[in-house]
Amino acid sequence: MPERPIKIAPSILAANFARLGEEVSSAEAAGADLIHIDVMDGRFVPNITMGPMVVTAVRRCVSIPLDVHLMIVEPERYLEQFAGSGADSITVHLEACAHLHRVLGQIAELGCRAGVALNPHTPMNALSEVLHLLDVINVMTVNPGFGGQRFIAGMSNKISQLRAAVDERDLNIDIEVDGGITSKTLPIAAAAGANVMIAGTCIFGHERGIVAGIQELREAQISMGVK
Ligand code: DX5
Ligand code: ZN
């Protein structure tokens, strides 16, 4: 396996929103590499969460990059607002974009890293014509919409095929896994070739707190000999 540092991206979906500033600051102090922000519209997914105001608020509390995951229809209508709120990367769903190629260009023009998320049913080869436009691929390891679901183990094949395609073309693309990441599933995802671990419940919902949650994931990573 090539040397590829693993990044940990706490997902604030599982945070205590009454104390969001403290929670993200504590995640940053505990060594989080990114903060993952799940935007849901009640249409693309059956849940409504947060919008650009929350991105602005989090931006004021941490200096690590903000990874904004748009689970919304017509994401092109909101790219400018999210970029203006402080998003470093903006990820849209392939299934929500009739004109994905154009949307990826718009994200790049706004100065953000461009990402695409794939629902569990979407094959990796759906990305073949846009791979060179991507900075981030989010492989959903649950059906999007809710935190606290079980990791779909069958997604490992998709991750490893994507990693092979990215490496073969010598592209610099982060492969994220999103959903059901724990100290048990992190090693599976890392072994398949993912390098960004998005985790909500096992960090913000950890019984001994956020620091312990991040520590547990780092230990799982170290125990498999990955940096
Ligand atoms: C699910 C979201 C995930 C979610 C992960 O639709 O995209 O980012 O927060 O949460 P856990 O880690 O609880 O599965
Ligand atoms: Zn997400």
DSSP string covering 159-205: HHHHHHHHHHTT---EEEEESS--TTTHHHHHHHT--EEEESHHHHT
What ligand 1 atom has the least distance to the C-alpha of 151? 14
Residue 96 main-chain phi, psi, to 5 deg: -100, 0
**Res 35: pLDDT:** 99
pLDDT < 70 regions, the chain: 1-3, 226-227
The amino acid that residue 223 corresponds to is S
Please tell me the distance between residue 152's alpha carbon and the centre of ligand 1 in angstroms: 12
33 catalytic residue (yes or no): no
CA distance 219 to 45: 33
- Residue 2: predicted pLDDT: 53
* pLDDT reported for residue 1: 47
Place of tokens 């960004």: 196
Q: Which phi and psi (to 5°) does residue 194 adopt?
A: -75, 145
φ, ψ at 198 (rounded to 5°):
-90, 130
* CA 67 to ligand 1 center in whole angstroms: 13
Q: Are strands 89-93 and 66-71 parallel, antiparallel or unpaired?
A: parallel
The active-site residue out of 41, 135, 174, 178 is 178
Alpha-carbon distance of 170 to 24, in angstroms, equals: 34
From ligand 2's centre to the CA of 37, what distance in Å?
7
What's the confidence (pLDDT) of residue 226? 64
Ligand closest to CA 142: 1
Ligand 1 binding pocket mutation candidate from 24, 35, 38, 197 (most atoms within 8 A of CB)? 38
CA–CA distance, 142 with 156 (Å, rounded to integer)? 12
174 among known catalytic residues: no
For the question of whether the overall pTM of this predicted structure is more than 0.85, the answer is yes
